[in-house]
């Protein structure tokens, strides 16, 4: 059952219940009021007949009941019963019919209203009577009954009842029809929502949005919420797709990076095996011949092969180390930290950076800001952080220079690495710290897996640091690494520990 039909049925049912209660109340009020008026008329007629104790009950047959009754109301019926003589006198309009009356022992001494079924002209009717006991000397001698058959009242009430029933049914039918139309109009935006979501379900285009029209009501709020949710789903889907593509690219790059040194290592090992195999085959010719076989040429080739093997092994070790660092980051690895003096750490990095292979000039700027400055961190990871940015500077600076300097601002200390390399497009800056991302991939200038800056971001996050990037394509880049000089949490902790030791 559709929502539109359910809403209409609920609305129609509520309206029907309201009309039923209203109809019952109206009918009950009119019914009570109508019969109350009739009873008052009957009572007044009974009092005006003048039947009192002064009448001789044995002469009742001479009373002109018919005349008196017809003068007042022709629809009234009068019956006078004598318990002493058994005579029953009726008005002429009763056509010799007798109104049922109670036997003497059961007659109350006070006037009462009763509803009595009577037969007139072969038909059964309900008569409302007002029974007045006739007393002589405190003795019950007779009963006066004045009654009326509510023909007109019943017709009016029947007509009212039929009118209420048919009008209520008509109102309910009209309300149901109008309610269906109103519900259809009100729920039309829901149809648009269903249509749009079905399109999204059948296709892969998450950029589809539900058209928002009409007032800012609950449905409008629902549409806006769904559009917002679709936007977040689209963003998450695109990020997941980008992550999947980046992961595929990383697997391809990592496979290539690992295959290249492995190929070099295997080639050099094969070369060494052949060389030493040839030397072994000549060993039978005598010691002098064996020594001659190991000529200076073979020794030179062997040294070059061993050097290549060592370099490629280091390259593989670096790649495996990067992968291990990212695995630790994903596993929630917590670094061991202590107070670290930045100036000795930086001087050590400067010395080792001068030994890195490069084409650009290595410059060391003003490092005086680092004097006596300590940070709370991990010595090894801070060195790795600085090396990552310096190596990137060397990698992307084919000519010119890479310069390291220090800056200080408020409670933060910073390393500034400036190069005159290839730079980046401003659109690439938000993505350079994403895992597997390589800014120069389309240009194919350098090789790599795009893991370095991802590791740097993890180290920065662990140390509560940040980085600023200023770059221009073909003009170079400047990275400023900011670290907090002191952590307030450590200072607070030190104070608490000192207080505890004093109290103890």
User: Does 184 map to a domain?
Assistant: no
pLDDT of residue 240: 80
Same domain, residue pair 323 and 389:
no
Same domain, 398 and 444: yes
Cα dihedral sign, 15-20-23-28? negative
Residue 472, both tokens:
């221009």
CATH number at residue 473: 3.30.565.10
Does residue 460 form part of some domain? yes
Same domain membership, residue 107 and residue 218 = no
pLDDT score recorded for residue 416: 94
Q: What is the pLDDT of residue 121?
A: 66
Secondary structure of 321-377 in HEC code, one letter for each residue? HHHHHHHHHHCCCCCCCEEEEHHHHHHHHHHHHCCCCCCCEEEECCCHHHCCCEEEE
Pair (200, 326) in one structural domain: yes
Tell me, yes or no, whether 397 and 428 share the same domain.
yes
Could you tell me the two tokens for 390?
């310096």
User: What does the angle CA 322 – CA 323 – CA 328 come to, to the nearest 5 degrees?
Assistant: 100
Judgement on whether residues 327 and 341 belong to the same structural domain of the protein: no
* pLDDT for the residue 258: 65
Task: Say how far apart CA 16 and CA 12 lie, in whole Å.
Answer: 6
User: Of the candidates 149, 173, 198, which is a domain's last residue?
Assistant: 149
**Where residue 74 falls among pLDDT bands split at 50, 70, 90?**
low
Q: How far apart are CA 45 and CA 368, in angstroms?
A: 126
- Average pLDDT score, the chain: 76
Averaged over 45-59, what is the pLDDT?
58
Whether residue 416 sits in one domain with residue 303: no
| More confident call, 150 vs 414 | 414
What is 246-307 written as a DSSP string? HHHHHHHHHHHHHHHHHHHHHHHHHHHHHHHHHHHHTGGG-HHHHHHHS-HHHHHHHHHHHH
Q: Mean pLDDT: which of 29-38, 139-148, 308-317 is highest?
A: 29-38
Are 123 and 64 within one domain? yes
* Domain assignment of residue 487, given as a range: 334-491
- At residue 259 the predicted structure's pLDDT band, cuts being 50, 70 and 90, is low
Pick the residue with more confidence: 389 or 310? 389
Instruction: Say yes or no: 99 and 53 in one domain.
Output: yes
* Residues 6+ away with beta carbon under 8 Å from 291: none
Confirm whether 169 is domain-assigned.
no
Q: What local confidence, expressed as pLDDT, does residue 296 receive?
A: 60
Please count the structural domains in the chain.
3
Q: What is the pLDDT of residue 315?
A: 67
d(CA 9, CA 79): 56
Q: Which residue has the higher pLDDT, 367 or 69?
A: 367
- Number of Cβ within 10 Å of residue 489's Cβ equals 10
104 contacts: CB under 8 Å, gap ≥ 6: 83, 140
Question: How many CB atoms within 10 Å of residue 129?
Answer: 25
Of the three residues 97, 129, 149, the one that is the final residue of a domain is 149
Res. 493 pLDDT band, cuts 50 70 90: very low
Q: Nearest-CA neighbor of 423 among 398, 457, 405?
A: 398
Q: If we measure between CA atoms, which residue out of 478, 476, 475 comes closest to residue 467? A: 478
Whether the per-residue pLDDT at 27 is higher than 70: the answer is yes
CB 400 within 8 A of CB 419: yes
* Cα–Cα distance for residue pair 133/80, rounded to 1 Å: 10
* Structural domain contains residue 258: yes
Whether residue 302 lies inside any domain: the answer is yes
Return the ∠ at Cα 465 (arms to 487 and 489), rounded to 5°.
15
Choice between 434 and 26, residue whose per-residue pLDDT is larger:
26
Tens of pLDDT along 370-399? 988 999 999 988 998 999 999 989 988 988
The strand pairing partners of 362, in sequence order, are 402
Is the model more confident about 299 or about 481?
A: 481
Residues with Cβ within 8 Å of residue 457, at least 6 apart in sequence: 433, 467
Contact criterion met (CB below 8 Å) for 382 and 459 = yes
pLDDT, position 442: 41
* pLDDT tens string 335-381: 888 999 999 999 999 998 888 888 899 999 999 999 889 999 999 88
The per-residue pLDDT for 72 is 52
431 shares a domain with 305: no
DSSP designation for 144: E
Per-residue pLDDT at 282 exceeds 90: no
List of residues 6+ apart from 478 with CB closer than 8 A: 416, 417, 418, 419, 469, 470, 471
Task: For residue 496, name the pLDDT band (cuts at 50, 70, 90).
Answer: very low
The per-residue pLDDT for 345 is 93
Is residue 379 within 8 Å of 341, Cβ to Cβ? no
Q: In this structure, is residue 78 part of a structural domain?
A: yes
In eight-state DSSP terms, residue 49 is T
Q: Are residues 322 and 338 in the same domain?
A: no
Domain CATH code at residue 79: 3.30.450
Is the pLDDT at 116 greater than 90, yes or no? no
Range 76-81 average pLDDT: 83
Asked if the structure places residue 498 within a domain, the reply is no
pLDDT tens sequence across 456-489: 888 899 899 999 999 988 889 999 999 998 744 5
Last residue of a domain, one of 310, 331, 352: 331
487 occurs within a structural domain? yes
Average pLDDT over residues 312-338: 72
Of the listed ranges 166-175, 221-230, 290-299, 386-395, the least confidently predicted one is 290-299
Write phi, then psi, for 374 (nearest 5 degrees).
-120, 150
Instruction: Tell whether 468 and 359 lie within a shared domain.
Output: yes
């Amino acid at each position: 059952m559709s929502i539109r039909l359910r809403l209409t049925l609920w609305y129609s049912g509520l309206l029907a219940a309201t009309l039923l209660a209203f109809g019952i109340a109206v009918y009950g009020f009119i019914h009570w009021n109508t019969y109350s008026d009739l009873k008052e008329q009957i009572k007044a007629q009974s009092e005006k007949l003048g039947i009192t104790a002064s009448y001789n009950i044995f002469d009742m047959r001479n009373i002109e009941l018919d005349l008196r009754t017809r003068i007042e109301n022709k629809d009234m019926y009068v019956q006078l019963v004598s318990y002493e003589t058994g005579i029953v006198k009726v008005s002429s309009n009763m056509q010799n019919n007798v109104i049922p009356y109670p036997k003497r022992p059961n007659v109350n001494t006070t006037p009462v209203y009763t509803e009595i079924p009577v037969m007139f002209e072969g038909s059964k009717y309900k008569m409302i009577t007002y029974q007045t006991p006739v007393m002589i000397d405190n003795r019950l001698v007779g009963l006066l009954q004045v009654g009326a058959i509510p023909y007109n009242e019943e017709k009016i009430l029947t007509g009212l009842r039929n009118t209420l029933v048919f009008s209520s049914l008509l109102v309910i039918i009209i309300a149901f029809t109008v309610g269906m139309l109103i519900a259809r109009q009100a729920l039309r935006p829901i149809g648009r929502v269903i249509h749009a979501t079905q399109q999204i379900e059948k296709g892969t285009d998450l950029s589809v949005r539900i058209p928002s029209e009409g007032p800012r009501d609950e449905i409008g709020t629902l549409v806006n919420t769904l559009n917002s949710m679709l936007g977040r789903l689209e963003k998450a889907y695109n990020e997941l797709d980008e992550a999947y593509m980046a992961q595929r690219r990383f697997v391809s790059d990592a496979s290539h990076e690992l295959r290249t040194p492995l190929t070099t290592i295997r080639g050099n090992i094969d070369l060494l095996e052949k060389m030493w195999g040839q030397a072994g085959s000549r060993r039978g010719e005598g010691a002098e011949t064996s020594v001659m076989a190991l000529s200076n040429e073979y020794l030179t080739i062997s040294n070059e092969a061993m050097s290549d093997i060592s370099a490629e092994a280091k390259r593989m070790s670096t790649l495996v180390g990067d992968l291990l660092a990212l695995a630790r980051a994903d596993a929630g690895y917590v670094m061991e930290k202590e107070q670290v003096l930045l100036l000795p750490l930086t001087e050590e990095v400067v010395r080792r950076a001068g030994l890195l292979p490069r084409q650009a000039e290595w410059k060391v700027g003003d490092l005086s800001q680092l004097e006596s400055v300590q940070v709370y961190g991990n010595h090894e990871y801070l060195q790795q952080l600085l090396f990552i940015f310096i190596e990137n500077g060397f990698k992307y600076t084919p000519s010119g220079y890479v310069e390291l300097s220090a800056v200080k601002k408020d409670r933060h200390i910073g390393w500034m690495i400036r190069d005159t390399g290839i730079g980046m497009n401003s659109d690439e800056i938000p993505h350079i710290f994403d895992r597997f991302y390589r800014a120069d991939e389309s240009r194919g200038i350098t090789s790599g897996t795009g893991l370095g800056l991802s590791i740097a971001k993890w180290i920065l996050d662990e140390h509560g640091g940040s980085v600023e990037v200023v770059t221009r394509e073909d003009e170079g880049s400047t990275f400023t690494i900011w670290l907090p000089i002191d952590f307030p949490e450590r200072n607070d902790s030190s104070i608490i520990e000192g207080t505890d030791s004093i109290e103890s």
